[in-house]
Structure 1
């Protein structure tokens, strides 16, 4: 029963609504030597510490939001007010906008200094790095007080021209964005880590082993040699007060190693006996850079007695960062043995255990909280089959596990009852086991370096015996022996299935080396998937779909496919139900109608986000993979429902509506007008007059049947062709009918309905509409049936709606001219078109 209760509480979103404003995690700021009183912000600059913060018309959440601001935005504080709820709000000004922001999300720009994620940044110069979770402001100088010269979207890759550490010890990168140079704080970059993480590059000083978890009880997964540069993702102090760091030791693989591996030899190890501050120098007059808790074990690098006869110790308070603490903060302990016994006490599993675990959400909706317990706030939610890599878990008071994961809203915790554990099948084989080459055209080297001599090429599926494994220059190398007895080294990406896939953003050349002067070996196109083997400055070593290996500029690759349908959802727009997908880039889709109630949408799509929620009128929706690995969307509609599909630059929409004319929205276009009379008959009948009269009669017919109608013109006015299609393309309507009268010679006769399918996305439905209208129209008015024809008329070709152009009869024929001028004929034509539309919407 306990499990059932936990699961229902955690998986039901209505039990704990998300307060977006209140749950947005605040950024961490380094301590300042000066305390800021709230009122002192008035008249000064302030810094936003969270994203998606509402700017409101007044000092309270009951006032309307006028815009949103994000982390790093500088604002001028004009006034402060304490409202009836006791909340403190600031009136601020920025970018010619004035409004109110709650005080929780503002810090004094001159005293709150954001902690840097890099130590100097110089090692990044010349590399290409990616903007992380939030859009980045590029400024004219290397502090937030400088003017914003551009806003760079999330995921943008930028070449780092140089790095600079300002007076606040913030590391800023000089970058080139769209031909314009400026400065972006390093905290906004992913820095070669996984998406959304910040990271630090550090060089190993002391050889050490890398483990699955943050104690030596965990299995050894690799060894890091002195001089190896590794990406550090996070720090953790275990139950033994040992400081460990999580690193990437091979492509797509993380592990844990002692932080002391990155530190120079220490003179002693000591434990903090009282909470103390870490200073940038050996007196309390220096800036505070960190605070240490009781029980923290630290390496001591040097001892110093200042002018006041106070003894201070230099310590490492974070990986790559050193500071000073007074000697009276410590008690001495014996130095930690170089190789402590592997018989260490186990980690206290009633608290936190640091270990990577692959998990998958097993319920429709799961609440994710700010801490490991149901008493913590819900910060976001996940859906069934969402997968995460948990970096640690904690057990609560009733000994149930909570898993910590990284989300777009920051770190969050998810309960064991709403997830399942996913076994990792892509582990590197243990020593003395056999392995198999999984890449095309793998190379074996004489040593664990890409600069060493190539011994031979290894085809895909070649088997081998594993002798040893080491990490060198950030790459995991495996010493192998082939079945023919040849020994050598291969990088681990040659045997891993789980290596990154990226996509081409345009047609680009693949070279044999990391230079445009190298030989051309292949070409990739927009949306072509490639496997990423390694990077070198601004170049990426890839394997193409055809198995060819080469180098390509990082700037022409994207982590996400530009041709996919994402964020699938249901929406209600103007009282009608829609299926909606977002398009991350501009591309064209195609659809067919295998049967009257089935829709098939395709177009080189790498992925289609499945819509889980139900919508009235849709019986079934599924996504299929077809030849070439592309995705196809198949929707089966209820027999009593129909749909209108639209493909715009930014989204695909499918409006689902009951069959019949009732509630349908139709645009009727009377051809020509004013200075453009159209064709003129022998008795001077003008086409523009016939089309307008028929359009008005059709409007009356359709409205009587329950439809909504818009006329492109209701009087004798002139409209450009683009003005007519703009009315359709900016609407949420269901069909477009353009009315005309034909002209050739006195013996020409009959009725024709035209459509376009070569350009118009809605060609399939336009053809169906044309057939339906043509059939009922000629039956009603009794003219010769010239049939349905495809043509490149502008109003059909440039229309996003199902659209047709009807030529009622020949105004050049004296007999048909007389009919066209007749009110009775015009009304009959309107009735015939109405019947055709009714049959179309009932199919």
Structure 2
């Protein structure tokens, strides 16, 4: 007992000698990097949500340290204290220095050629495969100097995913763009950042013209009113003209997404309520401020609504979906796991997944989508390009096209395979497939235009276009024929010849007509017409074929196919095959 009293007395003495604050634990925030403000003015809030009070305001290009992350919010340190900002309105800066020295990377493709210098004309020193690790020492334009084992050389930056200190892949930086695009999807969500998990800022519709201001892999940044948004590049057709930013006023409408939304006198939750709007109603957007939209009510009054309860979309350009009864028609599912959706839109919810061979009655058609009747009597939607459609007499329906009158006025989509970072196969002498498909496609386009055809090229230069986007162009233009041009490769360098592929029964006639013309004109071996499981013909509801015009892995054929003579001969043969097809 005396010992306990003695210990207690010692503790009390220590507390009297040392101040209380000296025993207080000092908490230090871990450094989580920095953010740069992306909007003109941004509210910093006391908590991670739009309902929290505003602590202070920060401005475009100001940089702040991140002290904490919570879901879609960053806590930052400002002169007014620590507060929270939404991650879709700031840009997080990598802690990597601009110097490439010491950075690691992973090869993202098979057969990557490492060259002596930063050019395709330099000699190949070795070949790397997907997953190989490399050390990056420097960069020169679009080339990286790398070390792999005892070998060093140069590779194109598109084929190496860089790895940060933590072992996570560093996302590619945003590329500045100044282009125009036309939306090819029925309805396409606009997101606040380039990710499917990012909040939806609004929507654009088929036929809308958008101004593209930037890009990262798989996404385009567009001007969306006073702000920027991101859309998938799968559903955009690029225009060759430079983009002009649309006027933020009167170009947009807002669709209310909640049952009852207050209209306020100012762009703040502190504004007086002057009216209410209801889910589904649409109003012109007059102006925007801090994610609030000023709208005009039916009584003529104007007020402000919270932007996070409004779906913003471009006004006046949406093409009305064509709806027609499809009495007597049935659709048959072609693939296991096909999504059956709640509305005619790839972004809508999946109500069930159907398997190959299942058949449903068609109740309506909206654009490229079929409304079908399910077993419980309810209706849902399936994309028209992934089903087989049969009429009441049981025959498979093909695109209702006139196959007479020749090429004049026919809509023909030419698809030069690969492009951009996707070089396609590489020949024994270093020939890139993407370049000769483009040259051959352009020669074919010139011949078809001279004959009066309406020609659409899926790409007009060395740029990457996704496979779904190529198919979307075929559907958007309701093409009479879709021709995908490719050159083949195989490990056996003795294999040679040309092959024509189709996937659906309504594509067969086109395949045989074009192939017969190729076989009668090309000097290479005829490898025949075959059924192929290629995306651009499998998912295409138009008459579509894919051509392999020879083997770049065969040195003799590579020498032929890189010549203008052979490319023009192939284009001429395809032209005559199309003329035969449209003259039957």
Task: Place the TM-score, normalised by the shorter chain, in its bin.
Answer: 0.3 to 0.5
TM-score (norm 1): 0.26
- Give the number of the structure with larger relative contact order, counting CA–CA contacts within 8 Å between residues 6 or more apart: 2
| CA radius of gyration, larger in | 1
TM-score (norm 2): 0.36
